[in-house]
Amino acid sequence: NAGVTQTPKFQVLKTGQSMTLQCAQDMNHNSMYWYRQDPGMGLRLIYYSASEGTTDKGEVPNGYNVSRLNKREFSLRLESAAPSQTSVYFCASRQGVGGNTIYFGEGSWLTVV
Amino acid sequence: DQQVKQNSPSLSVQEGRISILNCDYTNSMFDYFLWYKKYPAEGPTFLISISSIKDKNEDGRFTVFLNKSAKHLSLHIVPSQPGDSAVYFCAASIGAGSYQLTFGKGTKLSVIP
């Protein structure tokens, strides 16, 4: 049972480069999320998708774009990476109505130099 | 402005004793609270939750207490085990079905054998 799968696990980017973090869940969940975690900080919501076909900004959306490709997949794109985007990124999913628990992937470590 | 605060960055407890992790919140609209546990290089995993209509919820060795008037909740782990060593995040939302969770910065628990 894979749950929430993120790729890549590690990535080093140069300032100004672009990249996409991929996420897929196999739990047939309606809602999906992207969080970032910085040292000494809690998890902060970047974007979420309440259901297939919808996306909404979270607490820290600047510098990011997302795509809910289908019910399973939710990608996060950095168009022009900045050192401030060095962080650990977590994808998550939740069943939606009637399901309160958010399930997280293992994280993607991104360094922008 | 931090709406969910975990003021103790770390806590050390002897194996077999009680661990008490604390969390304070400022937003009186929060009415659903969760605790997540996170091991290094893994995503957070759901531990236990509580709705504001309750003041206590228990699941095995884990109990969460909610004091609404003080805007305070705590997680009790009894007895503590070395495998409980992890970072614990408190999270809050407005409504159990809310798409947005607000996380605290986490408390690193070390259980000493």
At A101, the pLDDT band (50, 70, 90 cuts) reads: confident
Q: How many residues does chain A have?
A: 113
Q: Do A41 and B105 touch (CB under 8 A)?
A: yes
Stretch B93-111: mean pLDDT: 88
pLDDT digits (tens, 9 = 90+) for B22-79: 999 999 999 999 999 999 989 999 999 999 999 999 999 999 999 999 999 999 999 9
Q: Which three-class secondary structure state does DSSP give residue B4?
A: strand
What is the chain B residue with the closest CA to A93? B99
* Burial group, residue A51, by CB count within 10 angstroms (0-12, 13-18, 19+): middle
| Residue numbers in A near B100 (CB within 8 A) | 45, 48, 58-59
At B94, the pLDDT band (50, 70, 90 cuts) reads: confident
Which residues fall within 8 angstroms of residue B71, CB to CB, at 6 or more apart?
B24, B25, B26, B28
Minimum distance, in Å, between the CA of residue A59 and any CA atom of chain B: 9
Which of A90-99, B58-67, B104-113 shows the lowest mean pLDDT across its residues?
A90-99
pLDDT digits (tens, 9 = 90+) for A9-24: 999 999 999 999 999 9
Calpha distance B45→B43 (Å, rounded): 6
Q: What does the block give as tokens for A70?
A: 């289908």
Residue A98 confidence (pLDDT) above 70:
no
Q: Do A107 and B43 touch (CB under 8 A)?
A: yes
At A99, the pLDDT band (50, 70, 90 cuts) reads: low
Q: Do A43 and B96 touch (CB under 8 A)?
A: no
Q: Do A106 and B41 touch (CB under 8 A)?
A: yes
